[in-house]
Structure 1
Amino acid sequence: MTRLTDRLRSVRKRRALAWAALGYAALVFAGALFGADITLRSKTRWVKGVFVPVGRRGNDIYLPAGSETLSRGVVGVVPLLPNRGHAVLGGGKLTGTLVKRPVLQERGVLPNGALAWVSTFVYNGTPAQLGVAFEDTAVSTPLGEMPAWHIPPTGEVPEHSDALVIVVHGHGGQRAQALRMLPALQRTGVGSLFVTFRNAHGAPRSANGYLTLGDQEAEDICAALTWAKEHGYQRAVLYGFSMGGNVVLSVLREKHQPFPLPVLGVALDCPVLDWRATILSQGTRFGLPKFLARHVAAFTQYVVTRRSGQDFDTVDQLRAAPKFTLPMILWHGTRDRTIPVSQADALAAARPDLIEYHRVEGAKHIRCWNIDPAKYDAQLEGFVGRVLEKVDV
């Protein structure tokens, strides 16, 4: 009887272990499928923000407390129709259940009681939202016409009017996310081209609809360099945000050279430099234990490669660092939960001869500008001026 009981217990344990292993495998499989789909297809139509009622007393705005309204630094407010306007608000102070922020800039009217969009991306429209003249244009590629905004040179620095800064959004991002930096770019005297790349919202779709994490998207930015030459520009600077940073670094690969016109420098804001590490960090970000996150990340990479043929080595910019030759400016926030700041630390340490690194304390993903706009703008303007003047001399 004792032997029979022991056997039954042994069978139960084996079954329990088998079911546990099956459950674990199912969890890994489901997590990997979800992660792979986000990695390959993510795109959004709207700039991230929240819709909240606005209270106003003089030059102070009161917003309900939340993660976006409590964010450090500057935010933007756009009242919904029929109200028209836009305001840039300064740093917030919690007063009870509300966040008080001063109005720094205002176009139109931001009335008391309005329902408004509030965002750390500050703008959600076109350059017209800043009162800046621009033209809708398109960059011709083998896949089709990639929508773009062209902001002509201001003439403030005549000797820089032959230069174009090509601005590249990130994974699932929109061009409007970089409008915060447009005034600084204008002060340098250059033209700007805010471009989209394949499979982003509003852009042509590739045959399978999958992103390649910077690899093939680089071809669209090379096409933007051709656009620049055809429109009279003689030199360019590349400016990438998040995945856009990986895209512009991928442009520097040998296979894309020689360029249609000289590329003099690269600006990077919270770039994705190592996709393997990024996928792993996303697992831990969403609360997975480290051992489970490692398994999900490994299987996610496998699924991504099986679906799209993605070569993660090709978009590993830390590995490519020894081959870089252009001067760069790099910003990354210490509170970035999307792309770990350790990636920027590693790139800056690998190429201190080329990279001007600004590690921004307390900044979230591509929100370095918000912490201190004047400081960020001065760094950007200084960098663009320096790389252009090297050729001028």
Structure 2
Amino acid sequence: MTTGPAGHVARSTAVPNSETSRRTPKRTFLYTDDGVTIDSVYDPGAVVYDTGAPPSGDLAFVIAHGFTGDADRPHVRRIAGAFAQYGAVVTFSFRGHGRSGGRSTVGDREVLDLAAAVAWARELGHTRVATVGFSMGGSVVLRHAALYGRHGAGRGPEPGSEREGRTEAHTDAVVSVSAPARWYYRGTAPMRRLHWLVMRPEGRLVGRYGLRTRIHHREWDPVPLSPVQAVPRIAPTPLLIVHGDRDGYFPVDHPRMLAEAADGHADLWLEPGMGHAEHAAADDLLARIGDWAVGRAG
């Protein structure tokens, strides 16, 4: 059933643990812990069995798009199609994006949106879940993995706010692509433009009517756990950090900071010639990520 009282991970219209349910494409609205409706899409995928890898039929990829994306954008659908060759795929629109409710907090409360999508994948019967995030979504998958522990009850949306009954929202493998390491970075022209879009009233109007993204006017209070602070809390969950050496938003010191914070726990792929996020992720890179997730999740 689809209900969404505060304090509970979203439930959907799916029938849990049903093989028929797993094989049927579907679209629904999930409810987050704070009551925001999240437009979500399930693709059962074209399951591939490879003699050199474990069966992927129980694996679901949950895709966290970048800022101003949504589940219906062509670049998000391309990513979903690539990972559908390795398992089922859940895509969704972050709050304030596309048909989802609420307003974007640019990486803060979005961790609740991802938790709802992961819980839905598990409701559908998938025993292994890999979260894959791009840019803003890349920071969200890191914080989600840190705050929703793989073992035992997960923690709430902020460090120290313990909640029970959250184990169904955990991930088994994490892939962060083109993510920032720290908040408030303004070292590149694209990031200075993004800060104008988020911080200025006229910028938020451009976001709403030009980019179909509704941005919250309030500043973070408290400031959420940063990606580089989140990374040490992710172990033992497998972690892959992917970044292009021509990323125009975040230079390569960002992925290197993340990898250093992981203290040997993360794999770092610095991709020659790659730019930023979904648009820059070539098909062969997505295939390598799919292979990595199949081998590491669970």
CA-to-partner distance for each residue in 1:142-177, whole Å, 9 max, x for gaps? 434311221104243394222211101111123332
Judging changes above 3 Å, is the alpha-carbon distance between structure 1 residues 283 and 222 closer, same or farther for their aligned structure 2 residues?
closer
Structure 2 counterpart of 1:369, from 277, 281, 291: 281
Distance in 2, Cα, partners of 1:228 & 1:272 = 26
Structure 2 counterpart of 1:249, from 125, 129, 142: 142
Distance in 1, Cα, partners of 2:122 & 2:192 = 43
Distance in 1, Cα, partners of 2:190 & 2:286 = 34
Distance in 2, Cα, partners of 1:308 & 1:285 = 18
Matched letter for residue 174 of structure 2: V
Q: Which residue number in structure 2 is paired with residue 263 of structure 1?
A: 171
Judging changes above 3 Å, is the alpha-carbon distance between structure 1 residues 136 and 336 closer, same or farther for their aligned structure 2 residues?
same
**Aligned-pair Cα RMSD in Å:** 3.0
CA drift of 1:183 comes to 4.3
Matched letter for residue 347 of structure 1: L
Matched letter for residue 178 of structure 2: C
Judging changes above 3 Å, is the alpha-carbon distance between structure 1 residues 311 and 354 closer, same or farther for their aligned structure 2 residues?
farther
**Which one has a larger percent helix, Structure 1 or Structure 2?**
1
SS at 1:160 equivalent:
coil
Q: Is the counterpart of residue 202 in structure 1 residue 99 in structure 2? A: yes
Structure 1 counterpart of 2:27, from 136, 142, 153: 136
Identity of aligned residues (%): 22
Question: How is 1:229-244 mapped onto 2 (pairs within 5 angstroms)?
Answer: 229-244=122-137
Judging changes above 3 Å, is the alpha-carbon distance between structure 1 residues 163 and 261 closer, same or farther for their aligned structure 2 residues?
farther
Matched letter for residue 268 of structure 1: S
Q: Which residue number in structure 2 is paired with residue 160 of structure 1?
A: 56
Judging changes above 3 Å, is the alpha-carbon distance between structure 1 residues 342 and 362 closer, same or farther for their aligned structure 2 residues?
same
Distance in 2, Cα, partners of 1:380 & 1:387 = 10
Matched letter for residue 365 of structure 1: H
CA drift of 1:226 comes to 2.2
Matched letter for residue 386 of structure 1: G
Distance in 1, Cα, partners of 2:169 & 2:218 = 31
For normalisation by structure 2, the TM-score amounts to 0.68
Structure exhibiting the larger radius of gyration computed from Cα positions:
1
Query: 216-225 vs 245-254, which deviates more?
Result: 245-254
Q: Which residue number in structure 1 is paired with residue 291 of structure 2?
A: 382
Q: Which residue number in structure 1 is paired with residue 243 of structure 2?
A: 332
Question: How is 1:220-231 mapped onto 2 (pairs within 5 angstroms)?
Answer: 220-231=113-124
Distance in 2, Cα, partners of 1:202 & 1:215 = 19
For normalisation by structure 1, the TM-score amounts to 0.53
Judging changes above 3 Å, is the alpha-carbon distance between structure 1 residues 283 and 337 closer, same or farther for their aligned structure 2 residues?
closer
Structure 1 counterpart of 2:226, from 316, 326, 344: 316
Distance in 1, Cα, partners of 2:169 & 2:280 = 30
SS at 1:275 equivalent:
coil
Q: Which residue number in structure 1 is paired with residue 258 of structure 2?
A: 347
Question: Where do 5+ consecutive residues of structure 1 fail to align?
Answer: 1-132, 287-292
CA-to-partner distance for each residue in 1:22-67, whole Å, 9 max, x for gaps? xxxxxxxxxxxxxxxxxxxxxxxxxxxxxxxxxxxxxxxxxxxxxx
CA-to-partner distance for each residue in 1:103-147, whole Å, 9 max, x for gaps? xxxxxxxxxxxxxxxxxxxxxxxxxxxxxx943333233434311
Matched letter for residue 271 of structure 2: V
CA drift of 1:261 comes to 5.2
Q: Which residue number in structure 1 is paired with residue 85 of structure 2?
A: 187
Contact 1:235 1:261 in 2 (8 A): no
Number of residues of Structure 1 aligned to a counterpart in Structure 2: 234
Question: Where do 5+ consecutive residues of structure 2 fail to align?
Answer: 1-23, 148-154, 158-162, 205-215
